[in-house]
Chains A and B, each alone.
Chain A
Amino acid sequence: MQVLKPGGLANEGAAIELRSIDKSFGAVHAVRDVSMRIDAGRITGIVGENGAGKSTLMSILYGLYRADAGEILVGGAPLQMDSPRDAIAHGIGMVHQHFMLIDSFTVLENLVLGAEGGPLLAGGMAAARAELERLGREYGLWVDPDALVADLSVGEQQRVEILKVLFRGARILVLDEPSAVLTPQETEQLFRILTTLKERGVTVVLITHKLREIMATTDQVYVMRQGAIVASRATRDTNPEELAELMVGRKVLTRLDKAPARHGEVVLRTDHLSLVDARGVTLLQDIGLEVRAGEIVGIAGVSGNGQTELLQILSGIRTPSAGTVEVGGRVFDSAHPATPAEMRALGLAHVPEDRLRQGMVGAFSASETAILGYHEDAPFTNNYLLDGPAVGEHCADLMQRFDVRPRAPGLRSSSFSGGNQQKLVLAREMDQAPKVLLVGQPTRGVDIGAIEFIHRELVKSRDAGCAVLVVSVELEEILSLADRILVMFAGRIVGEVAPAEANERQLGLMMAGAQAAA
């Protein structure tokens, strides 16, 4: 780390200065009087829970929103940011969490998109190719210019996004939750790239809610809570515990306290389970697993290695090509497939990986979402007629017990924050006192405070004798929750590890397929 004296540099050292930025959306005060100084040539982190105002603040900086009050200074001069074009013109580039690439275009074509340099492509493309090579050399960011984006790994796609921004001449790079979609190895690579960028004089702003990343990469960190900056620290003078407490506003247990599991009998078992899709691609191969009552089994793996399909089969949504699934003594196979309704009737509850796409209906009220899958059961339905008051009371009760905010059963499900949506779905599934609980990505897009709560509830379920199967791409989560860890890679279970003996590096290698346990 190069040591710059922080004091006495005045404007010379500040790439961006925000002064008293304020922004409201209707009644919601999203950003409150935020002042911030982003030093040139360093990595500045902004941490905060979902909804703390980080993304809104960066959108103001990038010209997507206009601030209600306050000033933005870039390189010491006050600026009016009316659109992203202004931001780009002043050397500010943004890498979004969701990539904005065209899959069927090559890397080079994506790069010149919007900067074609004239009606004929050829000249612009040649210049772009030269520039891409220069950037690759200078920043160690090599990507094959002629590869189709669709063929690239997620980490490489992100590199293309960064290249796109540099290509447009950005000297200030804003990254919004960049590691959300990466494996641990890809994340490390990303951090090496960021460090190289810094050494070459690029200013980096990193928005994240993962404290480990803040500690590993940044020089300076700002903590946001409820729209305001609650603290700023030099990274070397702080620690994750302090930052977590600042983010949430109270002490947070980063380690989960749980008693050893009391194993009961096997309630969920699969045997030689395989899945081949319509194109002949093998998605799952020879999956054999057992989950006992009273234990949490964690499945670790980079997303897209068959976990999604496994959950679909176990919950009855998809039919396996071969093999059997046994739930509570009933055996299903490809000739006698289960349906989601049958599985639910057997006491299997399922919190799907993608709550917005599967677990809820955004346009429905929270109380309607709270009966999804149980809508034909008493007390919600009698003689085909929905009992509106009973449905409403049920939802109010769930909201009370699982601390879903705001406590408004009539509010549209999509209006709740991610964490509260997740708590609602989890509440619905746990409320049925299931024998088997399948949970996909229990805390995806969920705040630290809510993560702690969700983890405790899952352990509570386990202690009540439920067999819990957790699929997560967050290694830390698997390590703290699971009593046994299975690692999936390329549609197979490549190993089983006891959490006490596991470490992230070894698991990361297994997840990447480098080291299959014999």
Chain B
Amino acid sequence: MSTSRRPLPVWADIILLPLINIALAFIVVGIIVEIIGVDPFQALGLLVTGAVGSSESIGYTLYYATNFIFTGLAVSVAFHAGLFNIGGEGQAYIGGLGCGLAILAFDRFLPAWLLVPIAIAAAALFGAAWAAVPAWLQASRGSHIVITTIMFNFVASALMVYLMVNVLIAPGSMTPQSRGFAPSAALPVLLGSTLNLSIALALACCVAVWIFLWHTSWGYALRTMGHNPAAAVYAGTNLKRMTMLAMCLSGALAGLVSVNELMGVQHRILLDFQAGYGFAGIAVALMGRSHPLGVVLAALLFGALQQGGAELSFDIPGITREMVVVIQGLVILFSGALEHLPRPWLQAVLARRP
């Protein structure tokens, strides 16, 4: 007789439990907002209208969500392989370098239908390459991937500053930015906001990741390694090769953030365009249970918080940008670190009604 309770049904695990976690987070947020002297219901109202009140705000929410989908998927794929990729930040940054270099090299003479796929491929390739080094160090030298990927974030950051200031800066410019891309590299904008066609790419990636992980023999081997490396060895999987594969896929997905940011919005290479998305991807993956559908839902929530929070700090002077970060932090705390808090209670409730 097992000592553990019956596991939750899937729907409760990936939908109900996260909703309860979010509700708990918002209750705590409400208490804090009350303490600093703002009506929590008014703040909540402003947050919601700021995020989904108009087609424009919905556009911004979805634009943010696009980034979160890419990094959330990146962390999820690595996580299924038992690897904790903290380097989404750096991989997105270097992905942007690849994307930008490809466009700067070809935008004068390639048509859009050729240029855009090349730029997307370059973003993925550079992101993958940046993840491949820590992956190789882990696979062949046993250097822990958490440590090396964090280090590689700093290396990426330093490298980009150097390149932007000394090499890629537009001639005569005082700010460290490259020259603007040709219009042929721009993705179509939607809903009159920064939302662009890269959201379609993000959703396509979700489907592709789902097929890969659960419907291919490689995905099967990757998940086997993540759950039970000894069983993977027994099954004949080459762990080194599989580690490389998982991290390269993860890095490639993170690299695609630059498709949204550079090709969709900024139309040039610039510093820190990826700021924060790589790390937020960890929370998105945790909250989304590393499942593509869950990642989409979590990314929508984080996008809404980002957009609604910006509006909130704009409208209520008492709530600063930092306060918005606190709100996001609490959501991450409750849905990430404390995600199992309501689980025993929920199991007990559901067990009573089979």
Measuring CB to CB, which residues of chain A are less than 8 angstroms from any residue of chain B? 25-28, 30, 51, 53, 55-56, 59, 64, 315, 317, 339-341, 344, 350, 352, 357-364, 368, 371-373, 375-376, 380-381, 384-386, 388, 412
Contacts and interface: CB of A to CB of B under 8 A. Distances in A.
Contacts of A412: 7
B1 A30 contact: yes
A28 B4 CA distance: 13
B69 to A, nearest CB: 24
Given A25-B1, A26-B354, A30-B1, A361 B234 contact: no
B217 A340 contact: no
Contacts of A361: 223-224, 227-228, 231
Contacts of A352: 234
Given A25-B1, A26-B6, A55-B1, A372 B215 contact: no
16 contacts: A317-B233, A340-B235, A340-B236, A341-B236, A350-B234, A357-B228, A357-B231, A358-B231, A358-B234, A360-B231, A361-B223, A362-B228, A368-B220, A385-B216, A386-B215, A386-B217
B235 A372 contact: yes
Most buried by A among B2, B224, B235, B236: B236
B236 A384 contact: no
Interface pairs A-B: 4 shortest CB-CB:
A341-B236, A373-B235, A340-B236, A381-B217
B215 A385 contact: yes
Interface in B102-156: none
Contacts of B227: 361-364
Given A26-B354, A56-B1, A384 B234 contact: no
Contacts of B223: 361, 364
A376 B228 CA distance: 18
B242 interface: no
A125 B264 CA distance: 71
B218 interface: yes
B73 to A, nearest CB: 20
B221 to A, nearest CB: 7
Contacts of A340: 233-236
A25 B348 CA distance: 11
A384 B218 contact: yes
Given A51-B1, A364-B227, A375 B6 contact: no
Interface in B205-232: 214-221, 223-224, 227-228, 230-231
Nearest to A364: B227
A461 B7 CA distance: 37
Given A372-B224, A375-B220, A359 B231 contact: yes
Contacts of B6: 25-26
Interface in B1-48: 1-3, 5-7
A364 B233 CA distance: 16
Contacts of B231: 357-361, 372
Contacts of A362: 227-228
Contacts of B236: 339-341, 344, 373
A69 to B, nearest CB: 17
A358 B1 contact: no
